[in-house]
């Protein structure tokens, strides 16, 4: 969304509220339930402009341990200082990419930066709960429903001969 900051620059306003929806880039193994809801404001304090945004995005995915359906919410905060074009050198902007957004001809467009922030903040591992036990590696039963009865101790078949040797020599 292109935000018109000219009233702020002219001194007519000290704050501009922000409320819009942003389509997010697709993320592997997750489906978004609509667009990200972006709320926030831009404030001007004697020429120092600060952008403060909050983004909420609902998604559906599967637990990486037990494959159960997961409905989640990604909530991120996005804060930047607004600078006019040609105020900082390209080198300064590259070094401080997470601190500034550039105002061009009185308009500000932060869609790309917000999409990037959403991708970077999206969890790399999605779990139904932090203590999810997952699936049994032998039978595939869902372990959060209870123990499956499979033996957890398994002898390495390459060492089974030694186990038999010690068993026979013990007697």
Question: Residue 33, SS3?
Answer: coil
Per-position DSSP letters for 34-91, written without gaps between them: SPEEEEEEEEEETTEEEEEEEEEEEEEEE-TTT--EEEEEEEEEEEEEEEETTSS-HH
pLDDT score for 61:
95
Residue length of the chain:
171
pLDDT digits (tens, 9 = 90+) for 123-159: 999 999 999 999 988 888 888 888 888 877 777 778 7
Q: Which residues of the chain have pLDDT under 50?
A: none
pLDDT score for 93:
66
pLDDT score for 17:
94
pLDDT score for 170:
67
pLDDT score for 64:
93
Say what the pTM is. 0.76
pLDDT score for 166:
77
- What is the rounded CA–CA span in Å between residue 113 and residue 78? 9
């Amino acid at each position: 969304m292109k935000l018109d900051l000219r009233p702020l620059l002219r001194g007519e306003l000290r704050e501009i509220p922000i409320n819009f929806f942003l389509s997010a880039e697709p993320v592997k193994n997750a489906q978004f339930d609509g667009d990200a809801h972006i709320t926030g404001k831009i404030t001007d304090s004697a020429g120092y402009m600060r952008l403060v945004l909050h983004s909420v995005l609902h998604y559906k995915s599967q637990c990486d341990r037990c494959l159960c359906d997961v409905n989640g919410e990604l909530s991120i905060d996005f804060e930047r200082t607004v600078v006019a074009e040609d105020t900082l050198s390209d080198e300064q902007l590259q070094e401080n990419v997470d601190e500034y957004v550039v105002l061009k001809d009185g308009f500000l467009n932060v869609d790309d930066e917000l999409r990037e922030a959403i991708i970077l903040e999206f969890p790399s591992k999605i779990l139904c709960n932090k203590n999810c036990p997952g699936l049994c590696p032998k039978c595939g039963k869902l372990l959060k429903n209870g123990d499956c009865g499979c033996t957890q101790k398994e002898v390495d078949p390459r060492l089974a001969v030694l186990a038999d040797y010690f068993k026979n020599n013990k007697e």
